[in-house]
A and B are shown apart, each in its own frame.
Chain A
Amino acid sequence: MIEVSNLSYAAGDTRILHDVSTRIEKGGITALIGPNGAGKSTLLHCLSGLETPSAGSVRIDGIDPLAVRPEERARVVALLQQSPVLVSRLSVRDLVSFGRWPHHQGRPKAEDRDMVERALTAFSLTDLAERTIATLSGGQRQRAFIAMTWAQDTPWMLLDEPLNALDPRHARDLMARLHGLSRDGARSIVIVLHDINAAAGWADHIVAMKDGRIVAQDTSHELLTEPTLREVFDTPFELLEHRGRKVVVAR
């Protein structure tokens, strides 16, 4: 469980998070949604322990990510940044292997190699394993980075807008994969999503943010109601039901 208490974050004079408190339960996919500038990404970075909040605290499974040593933290929580900037001739396998770095610090064991292969398989990268990052398409590259984060084998996996720059097919494919992989309950995924319907379709829980505060938090089904969405996004919505899933259309 992630527990956030009275978290505030300021960059210079701009306050980005205002006294945020919440609990994110283990298991499944939790989506962070909200308009641009709501503080979703900042909250995610604070959860990962990569940003130091100006006040308040974060506990991941009881651990303060800022208090423990970096490699210890990296065995509990993994973050994939938004559109990672990398023009690299690293091979896909090399990149994914770096996900094991917090576990072996440069001396990989058999189980590390095994995990890399499993991550490659899980994200259908086996055929691309020897290709270099620079030669991949946008969708393949995003998959390779997520596979690296996956190989980190942390109970918590935080993804910052992984659907950015993916076309609908690859976006659906990726969400379905993450959904499938998170069913066994061993991994909990917290994911910032721009597309409400991606959240509606695949997330178990949704946290809705606005102006640096959490406005609503519930299971996807309960949270996705017209009044809540209207309040979060300042625009009227229409909700449809399609095969038991909610579909959201901005009016």
Chain B
Amino acid sequence: MKAWLITLALLAALVVASLLIGVASMGDDPVWLMVVSRIPRTAAALLAGAGLALAGVVVQQVVQNRMVEPSFTGAPEASMLGLLAVMLLVPGMAVAGKMLVAAAAAMVGMLGYLALAARLPREDPMLLPIVGIVYGGVLGAVGVYIAWSADLMQSLGAWRLGEFSGVMIGRYEWLWAIAALAGLLYVIADRITILGLGETQARSLGLDYAQTRMLGLVVVSVITALVLVTVGAFPFVGLVAPNIVARWRGDNLRANLPLIAVGGGALLLAADVIGRIVRFPFEIPAATVIAVFGAAVFLWLLHAAPGRRHG
């Protein structure tokens, strides 16, 4: 209960701040400004953050490693490759088609990562994030090369560095799909927790492991694509929010998924608000803010985490 009160109070404060802070003046037509820009921007940050946090927790259960998150699995980079392919081959494709391609590409990227991960020694859990980061870097290099040859660096830059300054009504509504995916995840929360017990144990409990894992990965891919296409990539959200909640409240997802989602949303909204404040009237992309904060938290988790080598 206490965790919820604190989180919700924090969230409320952030939402108010986000609605009030911005370059445009409230004086002329505050309602119009709210409806067209501030509310969409706030909602976008909350939805994207929640989605990334949920995607993070699913990936962590799938690979049984809490130091991994979607952006350490090559998913965003693979997604960008898919989007680049769309821009080059089918430039006029509708947004829905782009989302689909981006999600499919993210899925392929993640399956590649899982194939790599399966070949790594289990006794060295730190290798998983390292390999994921480098794997993402390799895919990213391919993306840069293609984008650079095809003069698409600007698009690539926008995907790679997520931010919310361009969000307004009519431009972010795809993110609401994340709410539906969150509902789906809540329904299968127990199954996702059981995934984290490992394949043998999960199957011994009668879970269809392969199917559940696939479902989880599809959810992660779709979330990655939705966020990437709408507002760009954000590192660490999927790592920081689930880890903090787990430290605080344990690993039972049935109980914690809502808190993880709200925490992720609050985290990304906080990054966006900070990005708007520190250099007012200029903006720092939320992705930059979250990279600094997230990396710092990651280092703390890495060195404070007890018992990471047991088992």
Inter-chain contacts of A48 with B (CB < 8 A): 204
Range of interface residues on chain A?
35 or more
Q: In the assembly, what is the distance between CA of A87 and CA of B194, in Å?
A: 13
* B64 contacts A85, C-beta separation under 8 Å: yes
Inter-chain contacts of A190 with B (CB < 8 A): none
* A88 contacts B251, C-beta separation under 8 Å: yes
Indicate which residue in B201, B205, B247 contacts A89 across the interface (CB closer than 8 Å): B247
Inter-chain contacts of A141 with B (CB < 8 A): 310-311
Indicate which residue in B193, B207, B307 contacts A135 across the interface (CB closer than 8 Å): B307
A90 close to chain B: CB less than 8 A: yes
Inter-chain contacts of B197 with A (CB < 8 A): 84, 86, 98
CB distance from B47 to the nearest CB of A (A): 26
CB distance from B163 to the nearest CB of A (A): 33
* A85 contacts B251, C-beta separation under 8 Å: no
Inter-chain contacts of A106 with B (CB < 8 A): 190-191
A246 close to chain B: CB less than 8 A: no
Known: A81-B201, A84-B197, A88-B251. A134 touches B206 (CB 8 A): no
Known: A85-B198, A94-B252, A98-B197. A74 touches B307 (CB 8 A): no
Indicate which residue in B194, B198, B307 contacts A84 across the interface (CB closer than 8 Å): B198
Q: In the assembly, what is the distance between CA of A242 and CA of B246, in Å?
A: 50
* A89 contacts B250, C-beta separation under 8 Å: yes
Q: Look across to chain B and name the residue whose beta carbon is closest to the beta carbon of A103.
A: B206
Q: Look across to chain B and name the residue whose beta carbon is closest to the beta carbon of A108.
A: B190
Inter-chain contacts of A70 with B (CB < 8 A): 203, 206-208
* B311 contacts A50, C-beta separation under 8 Å: no
**Told that A50-B200, A79-B204 touch, could you supply 18 new A-B pairs with CB distance under 8 A?**
A70-B206, A74-B205, A78-B205, A79-B200, A81-B201, A81-B204, A84-B200, A84-B201, A86-B197, A87-B307, A87-B310, A98-B197, A101-B205, A101-B206, A102-B205, A106-B190, A132-B251, A134-B307
Write the residues of chain A forming the contact surface with B, with a CB cutoff of 8 angstroms. 45, 48, 50, 69-75, 78-81, 83-91, 94, 98-99, 101-102, 106, 132, 134-135, 138, 141, 149, 152
**7 A-B pairs with the lowest CB-CB distances in the bound complex, closest first:** A74-B206, A71-B206, A102-B206, A81-B200, A79-B204, A89-B251, A70-B206
Question: What are some 17 contacts across the A-B interface (CB < 8 A)?
Answer: A50-B200, A50-B204, A71-B206, A73-B206, A75-B206, A80-B204, A81-B201, A84-B197, A84-B200, A86-B196, A86-B198, A87-B125, A87-B311, A88-B251, A134-B307, A135-B307, A152-B205
